[in-house]
A and B are shown apart, each in its own frame.
Chain A
């Protein structure tokens, strides 16, 4: 009789353990998150001397729109874009600028004409050149596929999220390179 009772108690303990919320949480935490392909996300990069570690998405948008001309350390903001015709630039136009190529062109042309924008973005032809440009220019900011980033530049988080976060905003549509 005592053995039967102890068996029931043991079963009850196992059941409670299985059904407890902590157990459920542990199961949820242990479930695999979708992995982020570094070739399919855009990392926002700055010069390593730039003290910025994190930008809000609104700040990022203002910077790329030319509405912020100086970093907190006094360096001039130099926005660097890649030439048209690649998915990295298309991602930036879609997610950050909310413009197409013509809108982007008109925006900066008119902005410099009216004096609202101090300078148009620099345009480079390849990720390697963009990385080198950011490496060499203290106030530069640009973007690369996360897989193209190396230690010569610094990746800043956007709204506290780095490119490997599962809810990172700047995702590239189309095939991975």
Chain B
């Protein structure tokens, strides 16, 4: 390259070019310097612009953060307001019609939210609800304590010698439940009723802890009604649920002169049996059984007077094909240890078929009580049954019941231990129930009972008329 220049420089044309180059060179140099300066100025100016932009953006971010915080605060306020509204009025987790001592707590199974929920929530927040508020957490309220009450008053009279017409306070039953957790429930029937003499007496007729494992297994521990047959479990201590003014003679409670072990302290398992449309269920119990003591102390709440426990199995069907039908049987077995005498085996067999619908009821139940003292070949059998039919016509519900029980004269348990003379008793009852509203009803019932071999009663029959006012609260 250098040689070429030298060569060019040596020619006349080259000399003229060199002269022009010398003139152009300062110009080019100036331009170059100017360009460099301009570039430097542009860089400096760009840096200033970026700084301004950053400042602007930072201010914007601050403004947005402030706005975001305001919105968050507003959303929190709205959520609180809506949550309070939901708890106070909207989500009414009342057990239908139940009187609640309401304490709402967060349901455990409603608390965790899956990612799917969150995704849906995001979608709905983005407008997926078509303008409606997005789904928000609603606490599934749990009632810690439920109280329902049942009570009755009556006015009655009979033609038995020495009896007088009377107003009577019936039982006041406070049915209290508490859902302790998802599977545990506490249940009690606190009953205020007629005690000895003309006084009140309070009684924990049912007090138990329930564990519901599944539809096929529920465990109960405590004191409850013995699962003998149907009536004892279906109506318990509530006259409200009974169509008639009282229980059939066979199913009177121990402290009313009943001949069955109506209550038991122990444990039970119950539930459905996988049986398709047949709808089989079972109840299996083990408990202290009853004591061979006067009827007021026959429920062995704290101590069993012997090692032998009572066993009870109740199996019944509720077939899908006939709504309202329930048919089943139960077997109860215990050994009683009366003081100063031989032990007595007690077996109670019960079979029943009932059809209950909202306007129609037909109850049929028969049982056999067998007492067999150990070492004796003889067995004392006490058979009994009742049938009851009723049909509703608007608020009126006429009903009819016939009952029968026949105990041997020398029955070794009823009279010697419980001072209950049974003999032969049978007869019809005729009544009318009128429901004033969904919580108050009146019943008028006439009973005629034919009596044979009943100690302390010289008459052959007794007629009784009773007017009862029953209510649920």
Contact = CB atoms under 8 A, between A and B. Distances in A.
Interface of A: 48-49, 58, 67-70, 75-76, 78, 83, 98-100, 102-106, 108-110, 112-115, 118-126, 128-129, 131-133, 135-140, 150-152
A9 B437 CA distance: 81
A113 B117 contact: no
Contact of B358 (A100, A118, A136): A100
Nearest to B220: A115
Interface residues of B, number: 58
A39 B266 CA distance: 53
A34 to B, nearest CB: 27
B89 A125 contact: yes
Given A109-B97, A109-B148, A119-B179, A125 B92 contact: yes
Interface in B206-255: 210, 212, 214-215, 218, 220, 233-234, 236, 238, 241
Contact of A105 (B97, B116, B238): B97
10 contacts: A58-B277, A69-B214, A103-B358, A108-B95, A112-B95, A131-B135, A138-B110, A140-B140, A151-B124, A152-B129
Contacts of A58: 277, 320
Given A48-B120, A49-B116, A129 B96 contact: no
Contacts of A68: 215
B44 interface: no
B135 A122 contact: no
Given A120-B95, A128-B132, A112 B241 contact: no
Given A123-B93, A129-B90, A135-B120, 9 more contacts: A115-B210, A119-B179, A120-B94, A122-B140, A136-B137, A136-B140, A138-B110, A151-B128, A152-B124
A78 B91 CA distance: 13
Contact of B438 (A105, A119, A150): A105
A70 B124 contact: no
A124 B91 contact: yes
Contacts of B94: 120, 123
B377 to A, nearest CB: 41
B50 interface: no
B109 A124 contact: no
A94 to B, nearest CB: 13
Contacts of A128: 132-133
Interface string B101-130: 000000101101110110010011000111
Contact of B241 (A49, A110, A152): A110
B410 interface: no
Which of A99, A105, A113 has the largest count of B CB atoms less than 10 A from its CB?
A113
Contacts of B136: 132, 136
Which of A70, A99, A110, A136 has the largest count of B CB atoms less than 10 A from its CB?
A136
B73 to A, nearest CB: 23
Interface in B315-350: 320, 323
Contacts of A113: 148, 175, 236, 238, 241
Q: Closest 5 A-B residue pairs measured CB to CB?
A: A120-B95, A103-B358, A135-B135, A137-B110, A120-B96
Contact of B215 (A70, A78, A126): A70
B173 to A, nearest CB: 9
A154 B96 CA distance: 26
